[in-house]
């Protein structure tokens, strides 16, 4: 016996074996012991859920349910899509109550729908004690890397401070040049995949006389080509990332070679090269000015100035601006973050709103009458935008029924007392925005219907916005930094469209909302655009 113990001691004292034992312990602790401890802590408070399998948790049930409910298009143009996109939520909230825990692989996820608790959980009280989980960050690592959307703690708040100033600068520019921006958008070339497009009309845009495109300055054409190349690469990266993250529940899978990962790496290389080229051009433009080190007022300008500031401080030997600083990689990651967080979501808001207007001609007419009355023959200006209340109501209702981000995920990095509920460190909280936006106890029996009047100024239910019930842009200190910009952009584009065209849904439209990181129409939204003027 003594000899056996001695052998064990010798083996255990070998550094390699000790390392191996530690790796086994960490894996066991991360993938089983801690999740089970969290499950027991929640069960002790009366919060239950479907029994998880080792490692895989409830993933198999979720995938099977979603595959079944989204296999076919919807038989009618119904907005009742919670059962289609979140069948597991419908099943488990029916079985275990609205508060339940399920397992995404080994990550325990608490589904939270109580609006008062949501409001508190998203408040500044927990801005640093909560954030994005390892699984989420790992899932988007090769797509967007770091950046304000995925960073946590002090790094997040430093970045938030910088990008907020950048976005506000961009918004001010956008508002003062509202008309110019829309024509620039008009000139972007072919419509995005999955976005609204004129059915049968291909690329033809009667509002966009052919001579305009040919007279675009060379610099603008170059920028547009660049932007399109970025967008295509990002779309491809987006779908590959969604596919490659499916196996993240397997311990160590992030190190396995896979065809998706190889392709992601290749596309990422291409995208980063394009972004580096944009950065280089911005620097050249700033250098040509040769007066100050400023790059302009936009977001990229802001990020580059921050990077420059740090470099200058280092050169002067003044130690730099604390531990956090922007380097070229973080600037690139931030650009990717903004493409993902800003472009995709805004395009989807327009797409779904056009679908709703094309299928609700009475609201389309109301919105058009308002645009004509407020703007007359002029293009919409910043002054007009605040007066477009019907359009604002329609946009809000579209964001309620089809929020581009259907879920809000946050992990508790510390033990949190939320009302009577104690959330143990390591528990992920999932706020099912789509389901909350359809909750009849909040929105009434007509919750599944398109009724923009619920957002009329002074309407009773509008007060819901402040109370964790209307969350298209999240809430609290980690809410959407581009919210105001997105709303201005949507209003301007829709106002121009409404004053130029009457639109109707094409017979080819197939109603099939799907969730691939964002809520999108599986087959796009083909519409017929009829010019209002010859
Ligand atoms: C209709 C359009 C948009 C919708 C529905 C939307 C929605 C959201 C939501 C729900 C979040 C919180 C995500 C989370 O915490 O998991 C978010 C965050 C964010 N959004 Fe938006 N967004 C939109 C447009 C934009 C635009 C135009 C920009 C940039 C100009 C932008 C930049 C960001 C950034 C940087 C964050 C991260 C904020 C942080 O974590 O501090 N978004 N957005």
pLDDT grade, residue 314 (50/70/90)? low
> Does the structure show a pLDDT above 80 at 324?
no
Task: Inform me whether the pLDDT recorded for 511 exceeds 80.
Answer: yes
Mean pLDDT of 491-517: 95
φ and ψ at 429, to 5 degrees?
Answer: -110, 130
Helix axes 259-289, 218-244, angle to 10 degrees: 150
User: How high is the pLDDT of residue 65?
Assistant: 97
**Do the beta carbons of residue 116 and residue 438 sit within 8 Å?**
no
Give, for ligand 1, the residue of 161, 173, 433, 480 to mutate: max count of ligand atoms closer than 8 Å to Cβ: 480
Mean pLDDT of the chain: 82
Q: Using CB atoms within 10 Å of the CB of residue 477, give its burial: 0 to 12 exposed, 13 to 18 middle, 19+ buried.
A: middle
Residue ranges of the binding site for heme: 480
Q: What pLDDT score does 217 carry? A: 52
Residue at token pair 């957002």: 455
Q: Please identify which residue in the block is written with the tokens 């052998």.
A: 7
Above 90 in pLDDT, residue 286? no
pLDDT of 10 higher than 90: no
Q: What pLDDT band is residue 202 in, cutting at 50, 70 and 90?
A: very low
Range 93-101 average pLDDT: 96
Query: Atom 11 of ligand 1 has which residue's CA nearest to it?
Result: 480
Three-state DSSP class for 112?
A: coil
Which residues does the annotation place in the binding site? 480
Ligand 1 center to 357 CA (angstroms) = 24
DSSP 35-62: HHHHHHHHHTTT---PPPBTTTBTHHHH
- Region 291-295: mean pLDDT is 51
Q: How does residue 460 score in pLDDT terms, banded at 50, 70 and 90?
A: low
C-beta atoms surrounding 29 within 10 Å: 12
Q: Where are the domains of the chain?
A: 12-141+404-447
Distance from the alpha carbon of residue 82 to the mean position of ligand 1, in angstroms: 22
Mean pLDDT of 5-15: 70
| Fold of the domain spanning 12-141+404-447 | 3.30.43
Q: What is the pLDDT of residue 361?
A: 97
Q: Which of 96-110, 250-264, 287-301 has the lowest mean pLDDT?
A: 287-301
More confident call, 277 vs 260: 277
How high is the ipTM of this complex?
0.99
Q: In this structure, which residue's CA is closest to atom 24 in ligand 1?
A: 342
Dig out the tokens for 365 from the structure. Answer: 């007419």
Residue 307 has pLDDT above 80, yes or no: no
Strands 196-198 and 513-516, by their bridges, are unpaired
């Amino acid at each position: 016996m003594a000899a056996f113990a001695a052998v064990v001691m010798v083996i255990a004292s070998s550094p390699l074996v000790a390392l191996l034992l530690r790796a086994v312990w960490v894996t066991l602790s991360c993938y089983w012991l801690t999740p089970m401890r969290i499950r027991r802590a929640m069960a002790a408070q009366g919060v239950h859920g479907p029994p998880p399998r080792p490692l895989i948790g409830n993933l198999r049930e979720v995938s099977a349910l979603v595959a079944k409910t989204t296999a076919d298009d919807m038989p009618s143009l119904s907005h009742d899509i919670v059962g289609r996109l979140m069948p597991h939520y419908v099943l488990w909230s029916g079985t275990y109550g609205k508060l339940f825990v399920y397992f995404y692989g080994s990550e325990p996820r608490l589904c939270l729908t109580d609006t008062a608790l949501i409001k508190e959980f998203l408040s500044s009280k927990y801005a640093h004690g909560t954030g994005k989980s390892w699984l989420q960050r790992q899932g988007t690592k090769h797509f967007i890397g770091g950046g304000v959307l995925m960073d946590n703690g002090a790094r997040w708040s430093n970045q938030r401070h910088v990008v907020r100033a950048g976005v506000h600068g961009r918004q001010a520019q956008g508002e003062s040049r509202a008309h110019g921006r829309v024509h620039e958008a008009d000139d972007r070339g072919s419509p995005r995949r999955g976005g609204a497009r004129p059915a049968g009309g291909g690329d033809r845009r009667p509002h966009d006389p052919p001579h305009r495109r040919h007279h675009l300055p060379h610099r603008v054409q170059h920028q547009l080509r660049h932007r399109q190349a970025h967008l295509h690469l990002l779309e491809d990266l987006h779908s590959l990332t969604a596919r490659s993250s499916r196996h993240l529940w397997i311990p160590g899978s992030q190190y396995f070679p896979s065809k998706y990962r190889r392709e992601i790496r290749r596309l990422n290389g291409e995208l980063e090269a394009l972004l580096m080229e944009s950065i280089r051009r911005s620097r050249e433009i700033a250098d040509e000015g040769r007066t100050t080190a400023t790059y302009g007022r936009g977001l990229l300008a802001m990020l580059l100035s921050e990077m420059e500031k740090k470099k200058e401080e280092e050169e002067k030997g003044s130690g730099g601006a604390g531990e956090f600083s922007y380097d070229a990689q973080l600037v690139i990651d931030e650009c990717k973050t903004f493409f993902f967080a800003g472009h995709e979501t805004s395009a989807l808001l327009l797409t779904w709103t056009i679908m709703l207007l094309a299928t609700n001609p009475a609201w389309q007419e109301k919105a058009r009458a308002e645009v004509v009355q407020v703007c007359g023959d002029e293009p919409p200006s910043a002054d007009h935008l605040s007066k477009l209340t019907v359009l604002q109501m329609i946009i809000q209702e579209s964001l309620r029924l089809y929020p581009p981000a259907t879920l809000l995920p946050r992990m508790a990095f510390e033990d949190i007392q939320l009302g009577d509920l104690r959330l143990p460190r390591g528990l992920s909280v999932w706020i099912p925005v789509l389901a909350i936006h359809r909750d009849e106890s909040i929105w009434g029996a007509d919750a599944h219907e398109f009724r923009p009047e619920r957002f009329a100024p002074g309407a009773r239910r509008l007060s819901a916005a402040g109370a964790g019930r209307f969350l298209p842009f999240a809430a609290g200190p980690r809410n959407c930094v581009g919210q105001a910009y997105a709303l201005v952009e949507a209003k301007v584009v829709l106002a121009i469209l409404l004053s130029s065209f009457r639109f109707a849904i094409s017979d080819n439209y197939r109603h099939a909302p799907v969730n691939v990181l964002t809520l999108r129409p599986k087959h796009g939204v083909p519409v017929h655009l009829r010019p209002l003027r010859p």
